Structure 1
Amino acid sequence: MTQAEGRAAAGLCVSDGDVGIDDTDIARLRHVRPRHYGRILAVLLIVLFAGFLIKSFAEGQIDWPEVGNYLTWPTILMGVVNTVWLSIASMAIGIALGVACAIARNSPNPVVRSAAIFYAWFFRGTPVILQLLIWFNLALVFPRLGIAGVWDVRTVTVITPAVAALLGFGLNEGAYVSEIVRAGLLSVDRGQYEAARSIGMREMKALRRIILPQAMRVVVPPLGNEFIGLIKMTSLASIVGFNDVLRSAQDVYYTNTKVIELLIVAAIWYLIVVSVLSFGQGFIERRFGRGFSGSGRR
């Protein structure tokens, strides 16, 4: 094939000197889309797998009307309420401790800085279920709590399953939140600190008014993810006798033997709660992401 023929085959215009070759209008060429056989195969596999799951659950020994009935069962609803309030309260404790610990990590006082490092190291290094058991059995170490002659009470009276779960999850979350907040503080340009000092702001005021609001853009996404993980992790509280949604479902199926139906009910409620909170997380992310390219509306 000559050079002129090659140019014509490629749809390029040829000069008058290229004898025997017609000009080709590239706009009239038929566009052929490439075939992505890998994508087609992946779609087929996903559809087949989804169909297999649907067929298995539809033909399995599942009493679907009972699933609908137990969705609003009083015991289940109480478990959902307990799961939600425990998650919110634990996260509130975790945020308060995490922010304080992250600030303490930057303290010039070596004792304060070392205490913050030890706190994060200890609670991140031990399993949550172990922390729950330690708090629930605190009476074995401290039989009584209080100040002699002023206030004194038995430890087993104070450390109920709810209190043990709240302390366990709250302190554990504080350790993880501290690292998230510390990453957010490090993301703020050093010049912001210097600008705050130049106008006479004290360190804590600069953190509250300038640094933390800017750090929130980086903090909110992983913090929201941590909160969603905490909601699912509250199922571990059943080991100390706390009636979360999973424990409530277990209490019901122990009496009526509707095991898989009650487990599906618990899964549905977890998905509902997580979906609602995920929507709220997206709203907060857009709120703190204003003014940055690609981050929500301006």
Structure 2
Amino acid sequence: MATTAAAADAAVPGAIPAPAPAAPSAQPHPVPDKCTNYKNHLQEWTQRNYQKLPAYDTESKGEGHRLEFRSTVEADGKLFQSACTHSRRKDAEQDAARVAYEILLEKTIDDDDHRDALGLIDQNVMFCKSILHEFAAKTKVGQPTYSADHPEGSLPMPLFVSSVLFAGNTYTGEAAISKKEAEQKAARAAVKSILATKNTCMHQIIMSKKELIIAITSCGFSKERGFESQENCNAPTNAITTVAPIKFVRAGEAAGLTADQGANIFPEADPCSQAVSGLEKHKKHRKV
């Protein structure tokens, strides 16, 4: 019936033909995945790596309902622009955040620097708990909790093995002769696991303690065992301080006198004179 009517309209002189059905409008610009909030991901990245929060600058072109937006975001000291224009400001900002996040996520620490940080952690274990604590504070993650126990077969010398729960993960360290050292080794296992992801915040914390770790390690100092070795320490190790024994001498011997001559320096007191002086004091007391 519709075909016949259309044919009839076409046959009538001066009739206006029916408009053709509109083709589906294509989207010229890709829209960021709405299931992924790149702005949140970028903000979390900056906080995790102790960076300044992202700042967005969005420009618009066009008139009325045909405005097109393009956004630029500043993160990690650099500017990142959205890949294309968008019909909504939010989409433009999400696109700019996506570009920045993907580039920064691929940013990795130099392999030499990464090995340097791992070497510092392997050298000395006494700073690992403080490093993990500082990392938790900067990334705003809950503080780690430790637990220690005696492994089976550790007798006759009891050993300790500690585990640490951090950010939902449990890390277990090597056996140690004390509970404190076992907790430090558990913290080291957590620090090395996080460092393996080449986390820039963890890397910066470790490298900030580089000089202190090297100085203490060079002297062979351990918080639990004291100075174990001083092979590379700057302090002199072969210097032995000798103390001369105390020698008691009689009065006069220091001046070169003999024992008999020295005895005459301090004459013996006269017991009679002492008695007289005591009697005089008694008389004076009675007069008063």
Q: TM-score range by the shorter chain?
A: under 0.3
Higher strand proportion (structure 1 or 2): 2
TM-score w.r.t. the length of structure 1 is 0.21
Structure with more relative contact order (C-alpha pairs < 8 Å, separation 6 or more): 1
Higher helix proportion (structure 1 or 2): 1
User: Max radius of gyration: which structure?
Assistant: 2
TM-score w.r.t. the length of structure 2 is 0.22
